[in-house]
Amino acid sequence: MSPHIDAATPHPFLGGTPKRLLIGGQWRPAASGRTFDTHNPASGARLAAVAEGDAADVDAAVQAARAAFEGPWSRFKPDERQALLLRLADVVEAHHDELAWLDTLDMGAPLRHTRGSRRHLVGLLRWFAGQATALYGQTAQTSLNGDMFAATLKEPVGVVGSIIPWNGPLWATVFKVAPVLATGCTLVLKPSEEAPLAPLRFAELALQAGVPEGVINVVTGFGRGAGAALAAHAGVDKVSFTGSVATGQAIVRASAGNLKRLSLELGGKSPHILFDDADIAAAARAAAMGVFANAGQICSAGTRVYVQRRIHDAVVDAMAEVARSLHVGDGLDPVTDIGPLVSGPQMQKVLDYMAGARDERARLVAGGERLTGPAHRHGHFVAPTVFADVHDPMRIAREEIFGPVAAVMPFDDLDEVVRRANASPYGLGAGVWTRDVGRAHAIARRLQAGSVWVNCYNQMDPSMPFGGVKLSGYGRESGLQHLDEYLHVKGLWIQAT
Ligand code: ADP
């Protein structure tokens, strides 16, 4: 059972010696002996020291993952992998409060929000359990002479290196672990240096659920050390990465040595389009929360809000009202809607974008500043912010901010807004609000995005794929496509006569 969780009780996971690396089923310090500290972004308090893995540790973890891939794990039948995923789902369900609490402490998201992921995360593990026994190849009717049996086999790609960010560590861990277990691959997971605690606790729970040694390895550390080493390692068959575009591009370059398979879920500057026949109150609230949720630290945040001119002023007012009504504070406080940004540098980056927007003469309607009152002064808090009179060329309309900053712009007609929405190097999500079902279908097909949400935003379900086009990356997570990212297709030809 989860230990009792509240703000005042120190968690046993946080006490004692530095958190260690998981390599081949053993918890070990980094080969260098180095550690780094992880902090609570709401208070600045040090939470724990964590092993700083580097190339030597990555090498040991990749060897352990290879040995496991070629060892008894390779003989696990689909129904055995399914049973393992179901046990893991049960353990994660029983400990979800604890995992959510660690995420809240480590990266700041409100406990209400991190706890709210239980159904989806446990559901994902159970959905992948189902997929483990639903892997199919195909047979082909060839045009060759003779009696040819031609078929495709699906085989696990091998050792997977997964590099994850800090904006949803628990989510990202489940997204990376579940397909590995379902397909029979093995994993070296590199959590973000900003928020490594929930992934480490998750790995403990995975061992408890019976995941064999070496199947899941965890190397904590920095991007330039452990991350870069994992991306370049010749013993890694695939890298699954979630993070920034610049790092994604570095990983593509690093992967060239052995032509690893890659899936990349990168940034976005997603358009959220509100037509004037929409339910204005619902649309405005969704547009606001599409930016402010998780303090704007969501890659599919709908940060470019295009509003049809007739309802523009009403939507700006309503979004500003939402911004002002949100309680910004420590994620452990039950009334908190929006937590801090993850770090000082991230906060400074967001404040710089706000200053730049003012310089470019966008009109500040709400927020626009760091919060420095008694409840905020030790953390990285900024006010939910709405800028109106934004023009497409302004930086806040083009660049990913990763903070709670909405850029609102008017538009007149469908062709215009499609052209402007698509005139971005990114293509992750897009939102549309309209009561006209024909228009909804038409625009959904024309928007360049991995996901289009109509009369809703940022919906997720294990059955649906998530991922991007253009600079938002390639590959899909969740949905039927996810497992194919972890499988090779082998052509089998048997001349029967
Ligand atoms: P974010 O904006 O989420 O911090 P990053 O791309 O900087 O995005 O970080 C995401 C993950 O990528 C983190 O785990 C980080 O340590 C890792 N990372 C950063 N730089 C590199 C790199 N050059 N190679 C591999 N991983 C990296």
Are 109 and 103 contacting, i.e. CB atoms less than 8 angstroms apart? yes
Q: Are residues 384 and 421 in the same domain?
A: yes
Q: Are residues 258 and 275 in the same domain?
A: no
Number of domains in the chain: 2
Mean pLDDT in residue range 171-199 = 98
Give every CB contact of residue 286 below 8 A, 6+ residues apart in sequence.
272, 431, 433, 456, 457
In this model, does residue 6 exceed pLDDT 60?
A: no
Q: Are residues 384 and 399 in the same domain?
A: yes
Q: How many CB atoms lie within 10 A of CB 387?
A: 27
Mean pLDDT in residue range 148-166 = 98
Residue with CA nearest ligand 1 atom 17: 223
- Return the structure tokens found at 465: 């794929």
Q: How many CB atoms lie within 10 A of CB 450?
A: 23
Residue with CA nearest ligand 1 atom 24: 228
Q: Are residues 294 and 187 in the same domain?
A: no
Q: Are residues 289 and 399 in the same domain?
A: yes
Residue with CA nearest ligand 1 atom 26: 227
Instruction: State the pLDDT confidence band at 4, using cuts at 50, 70 and 90.
Output: very low
CATH number, position 452:
3.40.309.10
CA gap 385, 380 in Å, rounded: 15
Q: Are residues 395 and 485 in the same domain?
A: no
* Backbone conformation region of residue 378, classed left if phi is above 0, alpha if psi is from -120 to 50, else beta: alpha
Q: Which residues line ligand 1 (CB under 6 A)?
A: 163-166, 190, 192-193, 222-224, 227-228, 231, 243-244, 247, 250-251
Mean pLDDT of the chain: 96
Residue with CA nearest ligand 1 atom 21: 223
Q: Which among 52, 54, 106, 163 is the best mutation to test ligand 1's pocket, defined by most ligand atoms within 8 Å of the CB? A: 163
Residue with CA nearest ligand 1 atom 13: 192
**367 in a domain, yes or no?**
yes
**497 in a domain, yes or no?**
no
| Atom from ligand 1 closest to the CA of residue 230 | 25
Element (DSSP H or E) covering residue 314: helix 309-325
**80 in a domain, yes or no?**
yes
Q: Note the pLDDT of residue 1.
A: 37
Look at residues 484, 485, 480, 486 and name the one whose alpha carbon lies nearest to residue 130. 480
Residue with CA nearest ligand 1 atom 7: 244
How far away, in angstroms, is 245 Cα from ligand 1 center? Answer: 9
Q: How many CB atoms lie within 10 A of CB 64?
A: 23
Q: How many CB atoms lie within 10 A of CB 66?
A: 18
Q: Are residues 255 and 306 in the same domain?
A: no
Tell me how far the alpha carbon of residue 26 is from its chain's centroid.
Answer: 27
Mean pLDDT in residue range 33-54 = 97
How far away, in angstroms, is 60 Cα from ligand 1 center? Answer: 21
**152 in a domain, yes or no?**
yes
In this model, does residue 417 exceed pLDDT 50?
A: yes
**Alpha-helical regions (H) of 133-216:** 169-183, 197-209
Q: Are residues 240 and 389 in the same domain?
A: no
* Backbone conformation region of residue 136, classed left if phi is above 0, alpha if psi is from -120 to 50, else beta: beta
Domain residues for the domain of 102 are 12-266+473-491
In this model, does residue 46 exceed pLDDT 70?
A: yes
Instruction: State the pLDDT confidence band at 64, using cuts at 50, 70 and 90.
Output: very high
How far away, in angstroms, is 66 Cα from ligand 1 center? Answer: 24
How far away, in angstroms, is 353 Cα from ligand 1 center? Answer: 21
Q: How many CB atoms lie within 10 A of CB 355?
A: 11
Q: Which among 218, 241, 247 is the best mutation to test ligand 1's pocket, defined by most ligand atoms within 8 Å of the CB? A: 247
Beta bridge partner(s), residue 452? 430
- Give the global pTM: 0.97
Instruction: State the pLDDT confidence band at 8, using cuts at 50, 70 and 90.
Output: low
Q: Are residues 413 and 359 in the same domain?
A: yes
Name the percent of the chain lying above pLDDT 90: 96
DSSP state of 226: I
Q: Note the pLDDT of residue 5.
A: 53
Q: How do 148-156 and 487-495 pair as beta strands?
A: antiparallel
> Three-class SS of residue 105?
helix
Give the model confidence (pLDDT) of 444-491 as tens digits: 999 999 999 999 999 999 999 999 999 999 999 999 999 999 999 999
Residue with CA nearest ligand 1 atom 19: 223
| Atom from ligand 1 closest to the CA of residue 231 | 25
How far away, in angstroms, is 243 Cα from ligand 1 center? Answer: 6
CATH number, position 207:
3.40.605.10
Q: How many CB atoms lie within 10 A of CB 16?
A: 9
CA gap 184, 189 in Å, rounded: 16
Look at residues 264, 185, 299 and name the one whose alpha carbon lies nearest to residue 475. 264
**Alpha-helical regions (H) of 210-308:** 228-232, 245-254, 280-292
| Atom from ligand 1 closest to the CA of residue 342 | 4
CA gap 396, 387 in Å, rounded: 9
Q: Are residues 79 and 45 in the same domain?
A: yes
* DSSP letters for 431-482: EEE-S-HHHHHHHHHHS-SSEEEESS-S---TTS-EE-SGGGEE-EESSTHH
**468 in a domain, yes or no?**
no
Q: How many CB atoms lie within 10 A of CB 483?
A: 19
Give the model confidence (pLDDT) of 380-401 as tens digits: 999 999 999 999 999 999 999 9
Q: Are residues 189 and 310 in the same domain?
A: no
CA gap 294, 23 in Å, rounded: 32
C-alpha radius of gyration, the chain, whole number = 23
**466 in a domain, yes or no?**
no
Q: Note the pLDDT of residue 137.
A: 97
CA torsion sign for 441, 446, 450, 454 is negative
How far away, in angstroms, is 360 Cα from ligand 1 center? Answer: 30
- Return the structure tokens found at 363: 């009109």
Give the model confidence (pLDDT) of 284-328 as tens digits: 999 999 999 999 999 999 999 999 999 999 999 999 999 999 999
Give the model confidence (pLDDT) of 114-125 as tens digits: 999 999 999 999
| Atom from ligand 1 closest to the CA of residue 222 | 16
DSSP state of 443: H
**6 in a domain, yes or no?**
no
- Return the structure tokens found at 469: 């086009």
CA gap 455, 444 in Å, rounded: 12
C-alpha count within 13 angstroms, C-beta hemisphere, residue 50: 29
3-state DSSP percent of the chain in helix, strand and coil, to 5: 40, 20, 40
Q: Note the pLDDT of residue 3.
A: 45
| Atom from ligand 1 closest to the CA of residue 402 | 2
| Atom from ligand 1 closest to the CA of residue 244 | 6
Q: Are residues 202 and 348 in the same domain?
A: no
How far away, in angstroms, is 376 Cα from ligand 1 center? Answer: 27
Element (DSSP H or E) covering residue 272: strand 271-274
Active site residues: 265, 299
Are 20 and 29 contacting, i.e. CB atoms less than 8 angstroms apart? yes
How far away, in angstroms, is 224 Cα from ligand 1 center? Answer: 8
Mean pLDDT in residue range 419-446 = 98
**128 in a domain, yes or no?**
yes
Name the percent of the chain lying above pLDDT 70: 98
> Three-class SS of residue 329?
coil
